[in-house]
Amino acid sequence: MRRSLLVTAAAAISMVLLAMLVPMAVLVRSYALEDRLARAALEVQAVETVVSRSDDKGSVAQYVDKLNDEDGHTQVTVLFPDGIGVGPDEGEDWRVLDARNTGRARVDDVGGGSQILVPVSRGGNSGLPSQTPVIRVVVDEPGLDSVVGAAWGLLALLALALLAGSLVVVDRLGRSFVQPIRQLAEHTQSLGSTGTIEPVAAVHGPAEVQELGGAIDRLVGRIQLLLARERESVADLSHRLRTPVTALRLRVETVEDDDLRERLAGDLDHLQATVDEIVREARRSEREGLDPRTDAVAVIAERVRHWEALAEDQGRTYEVDLATSGPLLRASSADLEAMVDVLLDNVFSHTPDDAAVRITLGASADRVDLVVEDAGPGLPAGLDATGRGESGAGSTGLGLSIAARTAQDAGGEVTTGASDMGGARVAVTLRTA
């Protein structure tokens, strides 16, 4: 935002300066040319006086040469009617003939400057225009080597100074907006990363930014209130559910039928485990923070090795190729462990004991790839095994859906297919972004 303000301000200020300084530069050059023409007019008057009083071309030539030596920006030439010219430019054109015949002075634009033609009237030839000498003064346009160059340089320095000063002011103004907004952004990004939610510190800056800080502070207060109520509800839920479950367990123990008592006890154990899982899941934000970061390679590798003992007990071939390090992922260690357990439990539960298992764990700077393959019967054709409740082997169908949810929370995905080992292939991709 700050850079955009500077670029926009620089473009706008540059256009304003160009609109002001370009006409000023043209005016400076025009004034310089008019000043030279004014000086040339004085020289014409002086030369006209000399020519009108003397017929001696030598004295006229000396005076003209003196003028031409003093000022290099004007060239004075006296064109006599007999075709003789005194000065650097002796040729005559139709303009000179027009000035001589009409007896009127004229000013013309020529290449590189202006030309002044003044016929000189002398008493002896007042009735003979063809005998009238003509004074020609060629005035060069002022260039960069003249006062125009210095003036243009000063204008350029003035423009740069104005542009730099304006950008400094715009930068300070933009900073007063950007810095408070950046502080608010940093604060909002850090919310919950440490497991706690802190209120917004005092915000300085424009009224709109302060109002935004107040709104974020009120939102943080509401989040804190909701979290507190959630924790109270979880604690109350745990207490309310554990009491009737305990009472049921006591009553189950009084059942005389052994088979019925065992079935009811198993159902109560399952219910107790479900309650514990609900409470544990509800308290996850308090335990892990709102934005957990986990070394996925270390967690997954440890869990894969945990299942290796069961594979040895079953006599199952257990091939592993595990990366040694990887990036931090936005997932909790509990979710990653549960994902690995789900994938391997499916293999061990739905394949023969002698079916081989191959596990590959790869990692790069921004992703982790886990591939689980087996030599079992494979997945049913045409079935989306990652869908919730979808199963082709008599299970609940929640296993791969849990893995898919964990992968999606970490910015990845789960894909299924056939392995070259003859069974199923499940690939999990987890990304840092």
Q: What is the pLDDT of residues 64-117, one digit of tens each?
A: 777 776 556 777 888 887 777 777 777 778 888 888 888 788 888 777 778 888
- In the structure encoding, which two tokens stand for residue 6, read together? 């500077």
Give me the residue label for tokens 């004991």: 353
pLDDT 10s digits, 360-372:
999 988 889 999 9
Q: List helix spans (H) across 84-146.
A: 94-102
Residues of the chain within CATH 3.30.450 domain(s) are 1-148
pLDDT of residue 142: 73
pLDDT of residue 320: 92
Is the pLDDT assigned to residue 424 strictly greater than 70?
yes
More confident residue, 60 or 363: 363
Residues of the chain within CATH 1.10.287 domain(s) are 207-288
- In the structure encoding, which two tokens stand for residue 242, read together? 């554990």
Say whether pTM exceeds 0.85: no
- In the structure encoding, which two tokens stand for residue 81, read together? 């009617």
User: How far apart are the C-alpha atoms of 433 and 428, rounded to whole Å?
Assistant: 15
Residues of the chain within CATH 3.30.565.10 domain(s) are 294-431
What value does the mean pLDDT of the chain take? 78
CATH match for 207-288 among 1.10.287, 2.60.120, 2.40.30, 1.10.357: 1.10.287
**Those residues with Cβ within 8 angstroms of residue 248's Cβ, 6 or more apart along the chain or in another chain:** 268
CB 137 within 8 A of CB 96: no
Residue 44 Cα distances to 75, 202, 358, angstroms = 11, 79, 107
Cα angle 332-335-338, degrees, rounded to a multiple of 5:
150
pLDDT 10s digits, 378-411:
877 655 555 444 444 444 345 577 788 888 877 7
Which top CATH class is 1-148? alpha beta
Fold of 294-431: Heat Shock Protein 90 (3.30.565)
Query: What proportion of the chain, given as a percentage, has pLDDT over 70?
Result: 83
